[in-house]
Amino acid sequence: MKKIFIEELIIAKKRNKNIILIVNDLGYGMIEPFQKKFPDSVYNAGVSEQSMMGYAAGLAATGKHVFVYSIGNFNTFRCAEQIRNDIDYHKLPVTIVSAGAGVGYGNLGYSHHAIQDYSLIRSFPNMIIASPGDCIELKACIQYLANKPQPSYLRLDKSSNYKIHKKKMKLHPGKWIKVYDSKLKNKKKNIYLTTGAVIEYVRNKITKKKIKNLNLYSIPLWSMKSKKTQIKKISKFNKIYVVEDHLQDGGFQSWLNESYTSSKLISKSLNEKVIYKLGSQSFLMRNIK
């Protein structure tokens, strides 16, 4: 996926001269094609992720669309405060590109596992998550993000070049993409639903008949605002097996669960608009709705 990312970034850069790429002392052996064509549009921030996000925010504030590339946890948890305050709060066009989704760097241990990144990133109200399942979904995601610059998180598998879709699709946040049709009579009752590169894992399981032959869907783009659109889609099926390379709490399924409005549990929480208001605690608590 990383090679496809660079190829698509080159295409996007030719259309938009304001695209910038920042790395933090890694990505070599991958970024060179982009660097060769656009040497003045690549920056190395060094091993300083917090500063890197500050640089990205500053460039974005001048009209640049900045892509910040690093390994899973490095450009998320190490600089969460800068993402929250500098990028998301100001709705700046910065795309955080994370390599090594899930346990892609498993041989390096927990410090390199990206299994809580959804939970962190989706807590920022202006962020959109792009988690492509194969190379075609990746191309569609980059096209969407390039056309609509905004605070965003692009989650890439470490080494997969898997391809299951035949042609590029048009995406919007919350859209379901059919990946595999089992042709079974019960296909409308039970399905598998994924986000990210676990498509290959699920498809292999289906092929080996280790799990039931059910239809497989993917949601490559999702955000806080697209959560409410999921209720009608979910209600069409009896069971939905949600597969993700992330811990359960705060992950993709948690996002889906939150799309439901329970008759017993009625949410009374702070509205995201509170982040743009100043005042006393009692004044800000009026934003509980």
Are 17 and 43 within 8 A, CB to CB?
A: no
Give strand pairing partners of 70: 98
Region of 164 on the Ramachandran plot (φ > 0 left; ψ -120 to 50 alpha; else beta): alpha
- Does any domain span residue 62? yes
- Does any domain span residue 129? yes
List of residues 6+ apart from 169 with CB closer than 8 A: 136, 137, 140, 177
Of 259, 240, 239, 257, nearest to 248 (Cα)? 257
Calculate the alpha carbon distances from 79 to 48, 98, 130, 177, 276 in Å.
9, 13, 19, 32, 21
- Does any domain span residue 83? yes
Overall number of domains in the chain: 1
What is the average pLDDT across 18-28? 94
Over residues 35-69, the pLDDT tens digits come to 999 999 999 999 999 999 999 999 999 999 999 99
Over residues 245-258, the pLDDT tens digits come to 999 999 999 999 99
- Does any domain span residue 162? no
In this structure, of 139-143, 201-205, 261-265, 276-280, the range with the lowest mean pLDDT score is 261-265
pTM, to two decimals: 0.94
- Does any domain span residue 38? yes
Are 198 and 102 within 8 A, CB to CB?
A: yes
- Does any domain span residue 66? yes
- Does any domain span residue 75? yes
- Does any domain span residue 133? yes
- CATH code assigned at 147: 3.40.50.970
Q: Confidence class of residue 260 from pLDDT cuts 50, 70 and 90?
A: confident
pLDDT cut 70: percent of the chain above it: 97
Q: Confidence class of residue 263 from pLDDT cuts 50, 70 and 90?
A: low
Identify the domain containing residue 41 by its residue range. Answer: 2-156
Give the per-residue pLDDT at 130. Answer: 98
Give the per-residue pLDDT at 219. Answer: 98
State yes or no: pLDDT of 279 exceeds 60.
yes
State the average pLDDT for the chain.
93
pLDDT cut 90: percent of the chain above it: 82
